[in-house]
Structures are given as structure tokens and as C-alpha cells.
Amino acid sequence: MLDDNTRVVFANSTLLSLIGCTVDMLLGKPFSDLITEAHRESVVHWFEQNSEHDSEATLECVRVRRCHTEPFYADIALGFATGRERPLRVVSITDITARHEAEAAKRQSQRLLEAHFNRAPVAVIEWRLDRSARLWNPAAERIFGYSYAEVESCDAFPMIVDEASREAVDRVWEMLITGSGGESIINTNVTKAGRVIQCRWHNTTLTDDDGRVIGVASLAEDITETVLAQRDILEARERLERVVNKLPVIVWAFDDNLVPLMWNEHASRVTGYDADRIIGNPDVLELIYPDDNERAECIQGWADLDFGDYDEIERAVTCADGTVRQILWSNIAARCPIPGWRAWGVGIDVTDRHEAFVALRESERRYRDIIQNVDLAGVIVDDQGRVLYVNEFF
């Protein structure tokens, strides 16, 4: 309780406990001494405004001092105790620290949300059921070219959706309103300037406390440059594959599981195995190396190289018609990496060279046998006159 000069004449135990003081420390002291300096003047002015004995008032969110700890936030209520010769002011102090902190956290959260809303690199939009925009952030204005004033009171879909896509977008909207899908889509949009763009949309249906649909929240990202870049990469890869397919050497590629990804036309001509039979076939090695020992030797030889690069390893390959051809294999994946291709390289058909070499060796063997068995001195020289072979009779 306070006298006419707002000095303390009574303090209950609750107040004393709250501020950490004794009665002797408070009695006779101005009430304003309990208030922090920043709020003291406003409290004095508040008392002056509410000096009438029949008035009641409340002053919210005032910083009240404690004797030995940090001040706290409180609401101060003012009334008067009547029935006395001189009415006394009755002041109650309510600690609102928890409420104040919760409100401060809420305000901070709102500031953060506003900052995210205003600075987000993607369009943040909230649609009403009539497809006008309740929220439209700066990124939405930058992407589509329309200000908030232009989209807040009309159906904005005809303004930002490409005409060819409108029917599909209408179906997506219906799915969102009925809760049957439409959460993530990519569709063609158009800007105010008429530029056609590609956007990735993430949508969420909004409902009230009773579960009734009240709108849709959307995030939209302009992915036009990404789509164009992916298209360019795809076209470049298709051109490369067309070139590779026509090369006069075998071109092959395996994924991480040693399943074929590439088998060009020349490979099909040499082996008789079409690409349809090779690509995606995990048992391809059993086709071209049907002998278990040869296949094991091939795999072990590559494993010894940690499935890395190698050059011109000659192996006999069994073709679709059962014939055997000699192929000179090379793997260049480490030197020329291609995404998704664990191993790839070229193969050169050296069957004719191999057969000619075998025939030459056989001819040489027979010629030596003839010379060795005649009763004449026999000598073989090269075209420079150097001796390559002499028989025993010589």
C-alpha cells in the first residue's frame, strides 16, 4: 500500500519474496525506487494520471528492481483502499517474466519469418481459394514480374501459367483443394514480360482449426537455366553416343557392378552380339568368355589392376556364331572419366594380324624343318644379309 505521496506503508510477504527485500528496506521509500531507471519516469507519470481515489488502472510490462538479482518484467495494477480517513493506494505487482519472454520469442520468430519471407531466393506465395495471392514475396515479384498489388485481388493463374499448361495446372489445383496430391510439380510458367520459364513448385494445402481448406501455400523456384543446361548436356551426350556408335573400333562401358552400358555398332559387327543383348546384361562375360578358366583369368587379371586402366591386352573372344576372334582391349576410364561409367574403353579386332602371325610362325617352322633335314648346308638370312638360322649340316 502507498500513501498520497506514493511511499510504501505496507508490503506483503509475496512482494517481499518477489523482490528479495525486507519490510524495513521498503517502508517509507517512494514506490518509484522499485522501478528501473528506464521505466521510472513513465510510472511516476502514470500515478499522476490516476490520482483520483475512485480510479483503477493497469500499467503493463514494467521493469521492477530486485535487491540482489536482475530486474524482472511485471504488470502493475492500481486501486484504492476506501473506508479510511485517507484512502490508500493499493498496488499489486504481477511477475510476467515468462509471458514477456514468450512474447519476445514470438516477436523474434515473426521477425525471422519476415526476414526469410522477404529475402528468400524462391517465390513464397499463399493462395486464397479464388487463386488470388494473400502473400507474395519479393522473389515472386522478381521471378514473375508482377507486384503484389497486381495479384492480390484476382485469379493470378492466367497471368503466370503458360496457356498450354493451364489445364494441367487446374487439375493440380483441384488435387490440392481435395487433398489428393499436387504437392510437388514442375510446370511451364510465363512472366509479365512474356518470357517462358520452367518452375519447380512445392505446394501445401492450408486448413483452419476445423480442418476446412482455406488456401494453398507454395514455394516456386525458377529452374529455367538448370533445365536448359540439362537439355544441352543430354543433347551433347546423345551426339557423342552417335559418334561413338559409328567409330570403326569396339567401344564398351561398364557400370559399378560391371554391367554393360555401352556396346557400339562396330562391337556388334565384330562379335555378332547386338547392343540389346549386351547392354544391361550382368552375364555378358559368360557370353564372350564361355570357358570358365578363360573367364576367371580375365576377371582376375583385371582385379589385379584394381579394375583400373590398362592398354592393349589381347584376349580371345567367342562370337555369337561360335567363332573366335582376337581382340586387343584397353580401359581408359581413369584417364577419361565419364560420370556413371566405372570402366570404359576400346577394343581392336586383331584377328587377321593374329592369324597372319600364326601362319608366319607355322611357315617358318616348316621351312626350318626342311632345311634341318636336307644333306646340304642350309642358311637363312634376312634382307640385310644377316644370318638368322643355320642347320646342323652347315
What residues form DSSP beta bridges with 93?
Answer: 76
What's residue 52's pLDDT?
Answer: 73
Pull the grid cell for residue 385. 644379309
| CA torsion angle 180 163 159 156 (round to 10) | -20
What's residue 216's pLDDT?
Answer: 96
Cβ–Cβ contacts within 10 Å for residue 263, how many? 24
Name which of 299, 290, 292 is nearest 319 in CA terms: 290
What's residue 374's pLDDT?
Answer: 62
Pull the grid cell for residue 113. 519469418
Examine the pLDDT at 255 and tell me if it is beyond 90.
yes
pTM of the model: 0.55
d(CA 307, CA 103): 63
CA neighbours closer than 13 Å in the CB half-sphere of residue 40: 12
d(CA 345, CA 333): 7
Structural domains in the chain, CATH included, are 13-101 (3.30.450.20), 120-222 (3.30.450.20), 247-349 (3.30.450.20), 355-390 (no CATH)
3-class DSSP state for residue 327?
strand
- Reported in sequence order, the residue ranges of 133-256 that DSSP labels E, i.e. its strands, are 133-136, 184-190, 196-207, 213-222, 250-254
Mean pLDDT of the chain: 88
| CA torsion angle 279 281 285 290 (round to 10) | -120
Average pLDDT of 62-73?
91
Per-residue pLDDT band at 112 (split at 50, 70, 90): confident
Name which of 234, 179, 223 is nearest 201 in CA terms: 223
227's enclosing H/E stretch is helix 224-246
d(CA 219, CA 54): 57
Per-residue pLDDT band at 393 (split at 50, 70, 90): low
Name which of 182, 339, 349 is nearest 269 in CA terms: 349
